[in-house]
Structure 1
């Protein structure tokens, strides 16, 4: 993990990473802005009590100084851009998912071969500047889920994440914690800002994005996360994510 203590010697640096399925990077932070761009596989990022899922051709912008952790879903290949604080100060100051254009993808891949120190006026410097120009034009595709804060709800949500297709109800949460449905309803809303049902819908959509990015059909992904039909899944997906799941599957470069 780069630039947790050392300084970035140029305006921007691109570095290659590969992760095997299930690899976790524990909570850490960088002194510089980081942009995680996915080439293959899926990455979950946990930060600021939220969960983001990054699929191929998308990237996550993480401002400097924000603690975060990563989980690899499948075998992952990614590029991490590290951007100097003086430059990133002009960028979005919030964590956000951006859609990466084919041009930006090729530029980032080229920059991954550069040395840390870039000669002023060189081809490498011009490519790095073009990367910054392209980043400023990228469209936000943000979608994330707030995670509970308390240990009890975190444990229960882990159970949910291992059994997406089960028809979970708020009574399941209350029963597992030995409290009333009214109490757990109030607690869940207090910690996430969502009802349990709304949180579960959003979390299932994140999981469906992981599955479709790894090769599942829309129908198979819908059934895997607990929907009875593709049509109801598609309606919810488009409402929350902003595009249809079929478009998501067939147009990875959107």
Structure 2
């Protein structure tokens, strides 16, 4: 199933439309684009959203804003209850011009779910118009979550990036991973720095941190998350996490249950 089939055609009078779909683990919505902007949000489950230039791994407490016309693909990690919104083109708003991960505060979450239940907002209905205005205000004001991972463009570097993203905690040396990418480690290190502005080693560490955020948001303990991310001890993981995000892992952890 492709979201392109669900993306609503441009229709005056219905500026926001909601979609509720449940996907199985591993389902992929291949790269597609549509003129409507999209708030990619899941009430439960984890999604990997990728554009040509970046990837995000997002837990239910966050969402990805994708401006209209942006090619993107979505991969489900576990069963996903997607509750997504499409917003009709409404001119160039610099506040919503770029892809980003956002914090889904309780008010925004409830508004998204409410609009999805309605299905479509009618601009001719004053109550719906107020909801649309509130939605845009909340999206603009939402805090950006540091979940973006820039992706290299070179096919060889991208092969290595995809392999790392498939198992961020894998401890295989980069020199061994490079053999399957079609370029030497030195060449790949140069490509990653030039195309992502991160050294390859730092890029891999950030991929691990991205995976750790999702695990913590899912209720995993700091110790389990540290080991899964490839760290030898929770203390080393906590230090690296704080260097990356400026807060301890406890800030991102959702208590189980």
TM-score, shorter chain, exceeding 0.5: yes
Which residue is equivalent to 1:237? 241
Q: Which runs of 4+ in 1 moved over 6 A?
A: none
> Hey, what does 2:46 align to over in structure 1?
42
2:84 is equivalent to residue 80 of structure 1: yes
> Which residue matches 1:92?
96
TM-score, normalisation: structure 2: 0.86
Q: Where in structure 1 are there 5+ consecutive unaligned residues?
A: none
Distance 1:244 1:12, change over 3 A: same
Please tell me whether the aligned partners of residues 19 and 119 of structure 2 are also in contact (alpha carbons under 8 angstroms).
no
Shift of 1:90: 5.4
Q: 1:55 aligns with which of 59, 72, 85?
A: 59
Q: Is 87-96 or 37-46 further displaced after alignment? A: 87-96
SS at match of 1:85: coil
User: In the TM superposition, what is the alpha-carbon distance from 1:49 to its structure 2 partner?
Assistant: 2.1
Query: Structure 1 pair 187/74, CA: closer, same or farther in 2 (3 Å)?
Result: same
**Which residue of structure 1 aligns with residue 27 of structure 2?**
23
Does the CA-based 8 Å contact 1:33-1:88 persist in structure 2? no
Which residues of structure 2 form unaligned runs of 5+?
Answer: none
Q: Which residue of the other structure, out of 68, 71, 74, is the alignment partner of 1:64?
A: 68
Instruction: Report the counterpart of residue 7 of structure 1 in structure 2.
Output: 10
Q: How big is each residue's C-alpha offset from its partner over 1:200-242, in whole Å with a ceiling of 9 and x where there is no partner?
A: 1011111112322333211111101101111221222222234
Q: Which residue of 2 aligns with 1:248?
A: 252
Looking at structure 2, the residues matched to 164 and 104 of structure 1 have their Cα atoms a distance apart, in angstroms, of 31
Q: State which drifts further: 214-223 or 180-189.
A: 180-189
1:127 equivalent to 2:131? Answer: yes
Q: RMSD of the TM alignment (CA)?
A: 2.5
**Stretch moving more, 133-142 or 37-46:** 133-142
TM-score when normalising by structure 1? 0.87
- In structure 1, the residue matched to 2:226 is 222
Q: How many residues are aligned here?
A: 252
**Tell me, what secondary structure is at the counterpart of 2:201?**
helix
Structure 1 pair 121/156, CA: closer, same or farther in 2 (3 Å)? closer
